[in-house]
Amino acid sequence: MRRLLFLNGIKAFEAAARTGSFAAAGTEMNVSAAAISRMVNLLEQRLDVTLFERRANRLVLTAVGRSYQSGLTPIFDALASLTAQIMAPEAARVLTLGVGPTFALKWLIPHLADFRTEKPGIEVRITTFGDMVPFGEDWSCGIKLGDGNWPGLVAEPLFEADLLPVCTPRLAASLKRPADLKGPTLLRVAHAAEDWPLWLKAAGTTRITARGTEFQYYGQALQAAIDGLGVAMGIRPYIDDDLAAGRLVAPFELSVPKGERWYLVYRSFQAEQRDFAAFRRWITRAAAAQPASRPSSRRDAGKKDAAL
């Protein structure tokens, strides 16, 4: 028989541990901070463990407390999600995806029509975030670039993140070798300062330093490259459609792994939820179907120009 010790005390502890104070937990549970403190004290007595170190103006979790909270929070998240699903009307089927702005514009939105055709009853809502933003509590899932290590989340690899310079066919015609690149024309992304040095080192051209216009996001730098402002460091899968359409070309064939990958991230309890499971199957297939062929190069661009 399942035995739950003092469920109100467990809820009070989890809320205090997650929010960092008895007062914040009391606001969340609609009781006083003193009531939260009493419930946590009683829970500690019943468990015969110390969950918090009480210090001036703050709470500090003990090692036991951290372990207990790390297990409890996903359970309560799962319970809240399940309850919301049961209470929602059958017609209200919504997935909220947390993605970066460039990923949304360059890959997700162009492909979402396929998912809507496959699952017309599921509404997809997109929430965009900048670099280093944590996983949102109201997200069904997220798509993030990184090393796959996000505590508390499942991370499933989707895409490799390969780097290669891209520019217009006109500009590519003047680039015969990597040494022809000029620092002031190399467009930069503020949160990816390592991209150009990584590629230039692999190309054996370490004396060149990227000094072109700096942008906040990859999408802005890629649009600047399309408009002929300079050479952007392309990253897959952002550049695949632009390469296929000829808006951009890769003047050199060298493609360098960024050292990170794109991952689908979600909480473990969501794996069996019907609508998320459908999206997970779809995006896994879509990622696997991404073209792995050599990108359009300067030589390919010259052939296209000759045929026009």
pLDDT in the model for residue 2? 56
pLDDT in the model for residue 55? 79
Tell me which H or E stretch contains 79: helix 63-87
Q: Whole-angstrom Cα distance, residue 110 to residue 116?
A: 12
Is-contact 52 59, C-beta < 8 A? yes
Low-confidence ranges of the chain (pLDDT < 70): 1-5, 81-82, 84-92, 130-134, 137, 291-308
Q: Please name every residue paired with 249 in a beta bridge, in sequence order, or none if there are none.
A: 167
- Cβ atoms < 10 Å from Cβ of 12: 26
pLDDT in the model for residue 293? 42
pLDDT in the model for residue 82? 67
pLDDT in the model for residue 307? 30
Reference 181, options 235, 252, 242, 255; nearest CA is 252
pLDDT in the model for residue 212? 94
pLDDT in the model for residue 300? 40
Q: Please give the C-alpha separations between residue 249 and each of 135, 170, 266, 297, in angstroms, as whole numbers.
A: 34, 10, 35, 5
pLDDT in the model for residue 182? 93
pLDDT in the model for residue 264? 94
Ordered domains of the chain (ranges, CATH): 7-72 (1.10.10.10), 94-159+261-288 (3.40.190.10), 161-257+294-307 (3.40.190.10)
pLDDT in the model for residue 303? 36
Q: Please give the C-alpha separations between residue 175 and each of 141, 181, 207, 252, in angstroms, as whole numbers.
A: 41, 7, 17, 8
Largest Cα span, the chain: 83
